[in-house]
């Protein structure tokens, strides 16, 4: 490694992380999973006419099945990871509906509570592992922290999007635009090394969820409400298919293969 250091090249190595390499493609697919997750939650809660308790139990069952798929392999597998990501999206939305629609909690304050819970979880994660790096999800404990943080982040993002679009009254288009500005700010902050990679990642996870919800609303709402008037199922099925093709192409090209610098590998080795 001394030759690489002398030449100024930062060496990287591939690891058996359970999270794909985070690139712009990752965030595109994340937005797509948000759209599909919104449609799945809408189907369980509204179109299937399930009582709230039954819809919640069904969601917990499906989420448990997806997490079991993910935890029973030792390395990143694209279809397992993105299946779990979709089910986490569904669970986050159903949880948000349970708390706001059925329990009557204030949407903006509830979003803030989940944001604080996310911050607390990341704090415990760091104290336990001395790292919150998503590039080094190499143990079951780190994987559990990762998915717990993800469901908290997506629930906070779901409620934030609802608050901006409907409670504050911006509508889904303006709300998505405001969130997109937030994502751009996070990206520029990271490029300028003003925030850590972990803070940028989890901030983006919160903010990406309203983008997927806005896309679903735009596809599904009637034209007089600013949408295209398409059904929830068919556009979401197309987005699911497109996301699967994109994820497969990225996997074939090796662009999502987990990687980490040598320094990060040493600093964040499992304890």
The mean pLDDT of 130-152, rounded to a whole number, is 93
- Tell which residue, 214, 107, 205, has the closest CA to residue 163: 107
Under DSSP, the state recorded for 226 is: T
Q: Using alpha carbons only, what angle is made at residue 155 by residues 136 and 90, rounded to the nearest 5 degrees?
A: 90
129 pLDDT more than 90: yes
**Annotated domain spans of the chain:** 11-265
Looking at residue 266, its pLDDT comes to 42
Residues 249 and 178: their CA atoms lie apart, in Å, by 31
Looking at residue 4, its pLDDT comes to 42
Looking at residue 151, its pLDDT comes to 96
State whether residue 199 is helix, strand or coil.
helix
Residues 64 and 125: their CA atoms lie apart, in Å, by 21
- Describe the crossing of helices 233-253 and 24-42 by its angle, rounded to 10 degrees: 150
- Tell which residue, 32, 161, 151, has the closest CA to residue 40: 32
State whether residue 118 is helix, strand or coil.
helix
- Whether 111 and 160 have beta carbons less than 8 Å apart is answered as yes
22 pLDDT more than 70: yes
Confidence of residue 269 (pLDDT cuts 50, 70, 90): low
Looking at residue 210, its pLDDT comes to 85
Per-residue pLDDT tens for 187-220? 999 999 899 999 999 999 999 988 877 777 677 6
Per-residue pLDDT tens for 150-164? 999 999 999 998 888
Per-residue pLDDT tens for 25-79? 999 999 889 888 888 888 887 777 788 889 899 999 999 999 999 999 988 999 9
Looking at residue 233, its pLDDT comes to 56
- Of the listed ranges 67-76, 82-91, 217-226, 253-262, the least confidently predicted one is 217-226
Under DSSP, the state recorded for 268 is: T
> If you average pLDDT over every residue of the chain, what do you get?
83
Cα distances from 4 to residues 8, 166, 261, 262, in angstroms, run 6, 53, 12, 11
What's CA 251's distance to the chain center, in Å?
18
């Amino acid at each position: 490694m001394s030759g690489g250091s002398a030449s100024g090249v930062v060496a990287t190595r591939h690891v058996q992380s359970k999270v794909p390499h985070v690139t712009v493609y990752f965030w595109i697919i994340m937005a797509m999973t948000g759209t599909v997750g919104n449609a799945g939650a809408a189907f369980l809660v509204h179109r299937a006419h399930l009582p709230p308790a039954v819809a919640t139990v069904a969601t917990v069952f499906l989420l448990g099945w997806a997490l079991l798929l993910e935890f029973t392999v030792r390395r990143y597998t694209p279809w397992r990871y993105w299946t779990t990501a979709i089910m986490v999206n569904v669970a986050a939305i159903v949880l948000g509906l349970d708390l706001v629609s059925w329990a009557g909690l204030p949407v903006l304050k509830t979003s803030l509570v989940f944001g604080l819970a996310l911050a607390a979880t990341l704090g415990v994660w760091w104290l336990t592992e001395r790292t919150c790096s998503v590039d080094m999800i190499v143990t079951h404990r780190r994987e559990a922290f990762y998915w717990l943080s993800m469901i908290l982040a997506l629930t906070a993002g779901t409620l934030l999007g609802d608050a901006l679009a409907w409670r504050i009254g911006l509508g889904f288009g303006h709300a998505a635009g405001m969130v997109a500005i937030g994502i751009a700010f996070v990206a520029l902050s990271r490029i300028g090394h003003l925030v850590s990679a972990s803070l940028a990642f989890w901030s983006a996870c919160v903010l990406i969820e309203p983008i997927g919800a806005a896309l679903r609303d735009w596809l599904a709402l009637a034209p007089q409400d600013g949408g295209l008037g398409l059904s929830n199922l068919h556009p979401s099925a197309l987005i699911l298919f497109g996301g699967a093709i994109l994820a497969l192409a990225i996997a074939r090209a090796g662009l999502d293969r987990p990687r980490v610098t040598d320094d990060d590998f040493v600093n964040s080795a499992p304890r």
